[in-house]
Structure 1
Amino acid sequence: MYSSALLTLLALLCNVQAQTSSSVYVEPTVPTGTPIPGDYSGALRPQLHYSPPIDFMNDPNGMFLDANGTYHLYYQYNPLGIVAGNQHWGHATSQDLYHWVNQPIAIYPGAAGEGIFSGSAVIDVNNTSGFFPNQTNGVVAMYTLNTATEETQEIAYSLDGGYTFTKYAGNPVISIGSNEFRDPKVSWYAPTQSWVAVISYAQDFTIGFWTSPNLVNWTHASNFTHAGILGLQYECPNLVSMPMLANSSLADPLDPSNFASTGEMYILQVSINPGAPQGGSISQYFPGTFNGTVFTPVDTATRFTDFAKDNYAGQFFYNIPQSSPQISIAWASNWEYAQTVPTGPLEDFRSFMTLPRTNVLANTTRNPYTLLAYPLPPPTSLEITPSTPLLSSNNLTNNTLLASYTSTVPSGALSFSINITNIPQVNTTGTANFTFLSSVTGEYVRGGVFLAGGNGDTPLWLDRSGVRGFDNPFFTDKFSTDVWLNPDTSTVRLYGVLDRSVLEVFLNNGEKAGTMIFFAEGILDTVIIGTNDLNPGIGVSVEVVGLGSAWAAEEVGGGNGTVLGNVTAMAGGQVMRRDWVGHLGEGM
């Protein structure tokens, strides 16, 4: 395992004729033009969820899909420490949203005391900005420049598809004289041939809608204000067109044949921090319609994107076709404890992202316009012996399955599903539970569904009280939610992914989703799934699949866990790639 100092030195050594960012930058100790190496082998480091190479990460920013099929993820990043501050835009790319390549930092502060806060990125295919003559892949990022006196909206443009950026000489493009005005999310509205930005007037509990023909000149159009849970401030708004399922049967949310063609729906997603019902930060969404300047919600209900405590500031990828499920990624943490979790002192990084989620709207039982958020399936290449699951049963009725996975799943990552069918509408009894256990320390995380909720509801619960690696008064240890049993299907579907220090669960194709981080002293190595007291005739099928590490293919230096990212250097006239740099580090 490399030390933090050596990893930084490696990054500097890699910077031989590397492409340098065109952003002016004043901090000499942070590498420019080359990615920062990181050690991805730590016991607390997830193997499927994105995390930064070192130091502190929070909100996802600027996410888009380019014409070559590459997903770009930018994120709030402090490359100078394991707490928030010195905000940059980190950058990673992926072909499948699971295997990531760390890229050089994309946008840097230009002066001491500045922060490049949250924002978004779009592809200016028609060169409305004038920055991209004779090309269709120009990228414009819009972000908040934070200083001690004001938050303004700036833009930067990229001629190489989003890898390096030049800040616009006429910045800021929007300034209202406020220090609580941030997080622009930009999209293209085809009917009016204009760009639309939603921006948070944070402590006014207002989302402003701004329009522009060219990404440079912006006009205020309308406000959406004082809706849902207010907390202490609004942050990170997203406006996105969303497909809608044709009925409430909870059929496959990824199958386009299930989408309605009854008109375009939108959601406006707004994050709040602090002030969530369970403390700290949370995200909520409002379904509605949009006419290019005004968003009109369908009702006044409050709807949350997640029922647990570790899903915040989610953003949707730009350039996903409107008729397809929209794809989102969020920050898997909570501001109440994000800067104190033990990955900082133990493994020199803090925070990870959620799994990529596909999103559609559906009229579910008694809940119209519900956002179904379901993880994009891990690529089959990550499945360990897919033809032979770790656990499998077509009839786990009032019984228990157990398996140790220490040797067979070295990544510590598993997916699991519990499907319960033929559930009576009344007088229902029984439970279906799962536990992930350390056979050495006795620590555990667990959860399950309780079929006897009463009145036709089905509670889902999660519990992280059984792990001992982190003690914090705000680290709430139990979460629960409910769904109504669908009378048309009489079925409950539970799917989850465990990934070392994070558990995500999804009930009924994502009608409810829960994200829970945890930090154990020991290695979780045993899975237990069981059912009890079920009514006669209820059917239960179970499957647990071991998943490999998405970072393993990126490691250098003999599998020591170090990932260098997209590094190309020159030595003796020959192009030398990341394996050369890794061996160079080993010999020092």
Structure 2
Amino acid sequence: MTIASLLAIGAIAFAVVRAQGSAPVPTGVPIAGNYTGALRPQIHFSPPEHFMNDPNGMFIDAEGTYHLYYQYNPTDIVAGNQHWGHATSKDLYHWENQQIAIFPDTPEEGIFSGSAVVDVNNTSGFFPNQTNGVVAIYTLNTPQEETQEIAYSTDGGYTFTKYSGNPVISINSTQFRDPKVIWHAPTSKWVMVVSYAQEFTIGIFTSSNLKQWTHASNFTNQGLLGLQYECPNMVTIPMNGTNELMYVLMISINPGAPQGGSITQYFPGSFNGTHFTAVDNAARIADFGKDNYAGQFFYGTPDGQPPIFIAWASNWEYSQVVPTGPLENWRSAMSLPRVNTLANITRTGYDLVSLPYDLSTVYDTQIAKNSSLGNGTLLLDYSTVASGAVYFEANVTGIPTINTTGTLNFTFTSSTTGESLRGGFFFGGDTPFWLDRGKIGGFDNPFFTDKFSTNNIISNGKFQLQGVIDRSIFEVFLDGGIRSAIATFFPEGPLDQLAISAGDLNPGVKVSVNVWGLKSAWAAEANSNGTVTGNSTTAGNSTASRRGIYGKLE
């Protein structure tokens, strides 16, 4: 969570929040929301209403339930008044909104970004008779200081009690935030990575009990600096096709990303329990678009399995002014859940491979198939897909290694307004891919960059293009996830037509295309008015039930 963002457009946010006076924040019950809006994503998570940003505290419990917390302003459609919202899922697509998990205690406080762990061995002493106790580690922001605090949950992560000994780390700084904690088994220690934001430093701390922390080392001035470091993550990721694990340190920067605003970079390397060492000095960016920031990996992924990642699908340059706020009373969605591995690819070396988590639970019907597209075009009207969400893939084989020619393009179009989202790949030259959201008319902003491109080296004579469109968000994956991007867009009319075409391909090159309609993950939860009420069966603890607007005991 960035101070700069809250003090730029966010200065307005604080003014608006404070002007609301006694506007109530619901306690003990989820906030209801309507998910039927024309711009509302149907398989990407978005808040029931108002403003959301960074994912926080993501973990998997012993029953296989995924917990997603997030930066949340429950009283307005801009940032400020930061709480931890909460939702749960069994498949990472069908989410159930829960009651707000952590509240600030005063109007000046904000519960900023952080993480959560399951303390199965009760190292903290909070859970003498259970193995499913959850500890949240977050930044408490005040005008005077940013400190790291903890709160614990005895009911599996639904309600929290703040630790009476807070803060657990204080360095007398207003730029010290976003702790991510993991368990390091070889040393039997908890390890925290946390950002000294404007010193371009990631601090590494260790603890045996989550309460007392010792500074171990710093990772400083590496990669892209921007104007500040934020939201670090450290995780082990398997190398593609092997049992080898490698540590990866992710750092988000904002502002100052190459295309403006915010973006995430990553560093493969090694970690000995106290010091992280990157394999090289290269700056690797996780996404070639502009709407992937502050992502986090789920804590508790079984050993040996690829970690699962969710990011905030927006950018601080325009997140607080996009039209979903005034039109539908919500702002921001999360990315698709992504499975991640590392690959050692041609020429550039280590690369973070990113693909959608298993989509099978939201598949509806296959709406198009062509196993021999060749130098042809597939035209599809998907206006009958109620969700407006579609997955497509194109597989190209037989690509020659020399004198390569040809293109593979796609265009999504609105039959009512003529707006379009389009992209394509050139098989010759430097093999560039391009993406254009500039022909969508519902949002005009000088920072809303409309065209993006990357390059993808062809290997083994094959290429794959995958994409998911979900009303106002598009994600694209190249060559099995070696390159990926997220692009939000805000059409005045629904996109409901798809054209996929190939041209000027070399003889012998084959193209197959498959398209599936996707089911809404929210429709089954909605009542007759389209309102999703969330989980009203989880009882709030006595502290939560007695909180007022800022969560202070009354």
TM-score, length-scaled by structure 1: 0.87
Structure 1 letter corresponding to 2:178? D
The answer to whether 1:469 aligns with 2:442 is: yes
- Partner-residue secondary structure (3-state), 1:235: strand
Instruction: Give the structure 1 partner of residue 129 of structure 2.
Output: 134
Structure 2 letter corresponding to 1:265? M
- Whether the aligned pair in 1 keeps the contact of 2:394 and 2:513 (CA below 8 Å) is yes
1:281-314: CA deviation from partner (whole Å, max 9, x where unpaired) = 0000000000000000000111011000000000
Of 395, 404, 408, the residue aligned with 2:372 is 395
1:466-508: CA deviation from partner (whole Å, max 9, x where unpaired) = 110000000000001011111xx21011111000000000011
Instruction: Give the structure 2 partner of residue 497 of structure 1.
Output: 468
Structure 2 letter corresponding to 1:547? L
1:426-459: CA deviation from partner (whole Å, max 9, x where unpaired) = 111111111110111100101111111x2xx421
How many Å apart are 1:568 and its aligned residue? 3.5
Pairs within 5 Å for 1:560-571 = 560-568=529-537
- Whether the aligned pair in 2 keeps the contact of 1:242 and 1:322 (CA below 8 Å) is no
**Separation in structure 2 between the aligned mates of residue 421 and residue 85 of structure 1, nearest angstrom:** 50
Instruction: Give the structure 1 partner of residue 294 of structure 2.
Output: 313
Pairs within 5 Å for 1:58-457 = 58-245=53-240, 258-261=241-244, 264-380=245-361, 382-385=362-365, 389-407=366-384, 409-452=385-428, 454=429, 457=430
**Separation in structure 1 between the aligned mates of residue 456 and residue 489 of structure 2, nearest angstrom:** 25
**Separation in structure 2 between the aligned mates of residue 474 and residue 45 of structure 1, nearest angstrom:** 22
Instruction: Give the structure 1 partner of residue 5 of structure 2.
Output: none
1:69-99: CA deviation from partner (whole Å, max 9, x where unpaired) = 0000000000010000000000000000000
**Separation in structure 2 between the aligned mates of residue 103 and residue 435 of structure 1, nearest angstrom:** 37
**Separation in structure 1 between the aligned mates of residue 243 and residue 520 of structure 2, nearest angstrom:** 37
- Whether the aligned pair in 1 keeps the contact of 2:73 and 2:79 (CA below 8 Å) is yes
- Partner-residue secondary structure (3-state), 1:406: coil
- Partner-residue secondary structure (3-state), 1:390: strand
Instruction: Give the structure 1 partner of residue 480 of structure 2.
Output: 509
Instruction: Give the structure 2 partner of residue 580 of structure 1.
Output: none
Structure 2 letter corresponding to 1:35? P
- Whether the aligned pair in 1 keeps the contact of 2:243 and 2:304 (CA below 8 Å) is no
Structure 2 letter corresponding to 1:36? I
**Separation in structure 1 between the aligned mates of residue 113 and residue 204 of structure 2, nearest angstrom:** 17
**Separation in structure 1 between the aligned mates of residue 363 and residue 133 of structure 2, nearest angstrom:** 36
Gapped regions of structure 2 (runs ≥ 5): 1-20, 540-554
Of 516, 538, 544, the residue aligned with 2:515 is 544
How many Å apart are 1:567 and its aligned residue? 1.4
**Separation in structure 1 between the aligned mates of residue 130 and residue 96 of structure 2, nearest angstrom:** 25
How many Å apart are 1:405 and its aligned residue? 1.3
Instruction: Give the structure 2 partner of residue 6 of structure 1.
Output: none
**Separation in structure 2 between the aligned mates of residue 305 and residue 74 of structure 1, nearest angstrom:** 22
- Whether the aligned pair in 2 keeps the contact of 1:394 and 1:540 (CA below 8 Å) is yes
How many Å apart are 1:325 and its aligned residue? 0.6
**Separation in structure 2 between the aligned mates of residue 569 and residue 287 of structure 1, nearest angstrom:** 40
Question: Stretches of 4+ moved more than 4 A in 1?
Answer: none
- Partner-residue secondary structure (3-state), 1:553: helix
- Partner-residue secondary structure (3-state), 2:390: strand
The answer to whether 1:29 aligns with 2:24 is: yes
**Separation in structure 1 between the aligned mates of residue 200 and residue 313 of structure 2, nearest angstrom:** 23
1:47-87: CA deviation from partner (whole Å, max 9, x where unpaired) = 00000000000000000000000000000000010000000
The answer to whether 1:483 aligns with 2:456 is: yes
- Whether the aligned pair in 2 keeps the contact of 1:96 and 1:379 (CA below 8 Å) is no
- Partner-residue secondary structure (3-state), 1:464: strand
- Whether the aligned pair in 1 keeps the contact of 2:433 and 2:455 (CA below 8 Å) is yes
RMSD: 1.2
Corresponding pairs, count = 519
Instruction: Give the structure 2 partner of residue 532 of structure 1.
Output: 503
**Separation in structure 1 between the aligned mates of residue 86 and residue 423 of structure 2, nearest angstrom:** 34
- Partner-residue secondary structure (3-state), 1:321: coil
- Partner-residue secondary structure (3-state), 2:439: coil
**Separation in structure 1 between the aligned mates of residue 360 and residue 167 of structure 2, nearest angstrom:** 42
- Partner-residue secondary structure (3-state), 2:481: coil
How many Å apart are 1:27 and its aligned residue? 6.4
Structure 2 letter corresponding to 1:438? S
Of 500, 518, 524, the residue aligned with 2:489 is 518
1:306-346: CA deviation from partner (whole Å, max 9, x where unpaired) = 00000000000000023111100000000000000000000
Structure 2 letter corresponding to 1:429? T
- Whether the aligned pair in 1 keeps the contact of 2:158 and 2:538 (CA below 8 Å) is no
**Separation in structure 2 between the aligned mates of residue 368 and residue 260 of structure 1, nearest angstrom:** 18
Structure 1 letter corresponding to 2:457? W
Query: Which moved further from structure 2: 63-72 or 457-466?
Result: 457-466
Gapped regions of structure 1 (runs ≥ 5): 1-25, 246-257, 571-588
**Separation in structure 1 between the aligned mates of residue 74 and residue 513 of structure 2, nearest angstrom:** 43
Instruction: Give the structure 2 partner of residue 23 of structure 1.
Output: none
Structure 2 letter corresponding to 1:499? D
How many percent identity over aligned positions?
A: 66
How many Å apart are 1:28 and its aligned residue? 6.2
- Whether the aligned pair in 2 keeps the contact of 1:241 and 1:322 (CA below 8 Å) is no
How many Å apart are 1:368 and its aligned residue? 1.8
**Separation in structure 1 between the aligned mates of residue 23 and residue 518 of structure 2, nearest angstrom:** 40
- Whether the aligned pair in 1 keeps the contact of 2:406 and 2:504 (CA below 8 Å) is yes
